[in-house]
Amino acid sequence: MELVHAIDAFARHLSSVRRLSPATVRAYRADLADLAASIAHPDVEHPDLERPDLERSGVDIADVDLEALRDWLWRARQRGDARATIARRTSSARALFRWALEHGLVAADPSLRLATPKRMRPLPRVATADALSGLLERMAVAAADGDPVALRDHAALELLYGAGIRVSELCGMDVDDIDRDRGTVRVLGKGSKERVVPIGAPARDAVAAYLVRGRPALAARADAATAALLLGVRGARWGVRSVYALVAREVAPLIGAETAGPHALRHSAATHLLDGGADLRAVQEILGHASLGTTQIYTHVSSERLAAAYRLAHPRA
């Protein structure tokens, strides 16, 4: 099978079988299109990624060897691609050839001996527990007047921090996903994997106040009924971009950044759980991480914070 057709089939597999998000599938496609372009035009410094040129190349996936893959990554380094970009493209190639081997398109996987550059992953920036408590208390006071938008904003931040959920999970929640009696929320995570996450009393109270006094007022502005938990000013499901704007306005000053996304609250929740003695496996389940290695980044954050406190406070530091 020609390489470009194999890439198409692999992308369909990622979407329909592995149920990856459209954005993730597009990222795989972009990485593998770069591979196909590099192999189709080995003498061109910056090959054109247009599909007609690639389809005329006649490169078969079974003819791609380790040397071709190494040359592709070498060219990426020569043109100044970031280490993280090269690492991601290496992973994309490995996923493609693993799939191709399983489906009998190649006799052996040439990517097995492909070295992956070490990623220099920066530690996530987090707000202190005291700073977030102060912010949420101020938002609770603002919401006490009964303004539906203030009630919604307070409930949203309490859920993001209290449950450590992703912004997509927050915006995708319906009213029925809240179990106030058990103090849990049901969310749909990456790969359409569902999980149930506990929330504390402040988040339960904020959501309850919003459901009683905030959501009905917002829902009355809608053209049609919706099951969505969080609603915008026109009564429709609240969007991700609006949540980003809220977090940037309220949370960014707490971490000393010009801007901050909803993940800053997820980072903070995970770090504070570990600071408080939570088990790493439990934090992995709460966050919905497929790999424990992803969760372990927060142990480094906690260690850095501990080391910083030691350096500031200990006379022999």
Task: Write the CA distances from 247 to 15, 250, 254, 261, 263, integer angstroms.
Answer: 30, 5, 10, 6, 9
How far apart, in whole angstroms, are the C-alpha atoms of residue 103 and residue 252? 48
Topology, domain 129-312 = hpI Integrase; Chain A (1.10.443)
Residue whose token pair is 């970031």 = 82
Q: Which percentage of the chain shows pLDDT scores above 90?
A: 59
Q: Which of 166, 204, 215, 267 is the catalytic position?
A: 166
Q: Confirm whether 204 is a catalytic residue.
A: no
Binned at pLDDT 50, 70 and 90, residue 130 comes out as: very high
Quick one: pLDDT at residue 55?
Answer: 46
* pLDDT tens-digit readout, 53-108: 444 456 889 999 999 999 999 888 888 888 888 889 999 999 999 999 999 999 99
Q: Confirm whether 56 is a catalytic residue.
A: no
Q: Which residue has the higher pLDDT, 226 or 317?
A: 226
Quick one: pLDDT at residue 139?
Answer: 96
Binned at pLDDT 50, 70 and 90, residue 308 comes out as: low
Q: Which of 28, 161, 210, 298 is the catalytic position?
A: 298
How far apart, in whole angstroms, are the C-alpha atoms of residue 163 and residue 185? 8
Phi-psi region of 309 (alpha: psi -120 to 50; beta: other; left: phi over 0): alpha
Q: How many residues comprise the chain?
A: 317
Residue 43 reports pLDDT greater than 70: no
- At position 108, the amino acid (one-letter code) is A
- What is the Rg, in whole angstroms, of the alpha carbon atoms belonging to the chain? 24
Average pLDDT over residues 288-316: 71
* pLDDT tens-digit readout, 21-32: 899 999 999 999
Residue closest to 136 by CA, chosen among 147, 124, 127: 127
Q: Which of 13, 237, 263, 305 is the catalytic position?
A: 263
CATH 1.10.443.10 maps onto the chain at 129-312
Residue 52 reports pLDDT greater than 50: no
- At position 274, the amino acid (one-letter code) is L
Q: Confirm whether 263 is a catalytic residue.
A: yes
Q: Which of 204, 215, 266, 267 is the catalytic position?
A: 266
Binned at pLDDT 50, 70 and 90, residue 217 comes out as: very high
Average pLDDT over the chain, rounded to an integer: 87
Q: Which residue has the higher pLDDT, 298 or 15?
A: 15
Quick one: pLDDT at residue 307?
Answer: 63
Q: Confirm whether 298 is a catalytic residue.
A: yes
pTM to 2 decimal places: 0.64
Contact 142, 214 (CB under 8 A): no
Residue 49 reports pLDDT greater than 50: no
- At position 293, the amino acid (one-letter code) is G
- Kind and range of the H or E element at 314? none
Under 8 Å CB-to-CB from 314, ≥6 apart: which residues?
Answer: none
Quick one: pLDDT at residue 48?
Answer: 46
The count of other CB atoms within 10 Å of the CB of residue 277 is: 6
Under 8 Å CB-to-CB from 315, ≥6 apart: which residues?
Answer: none
Binned at pLDDT 50, 70 and 90, residue 144 comes out as: very high
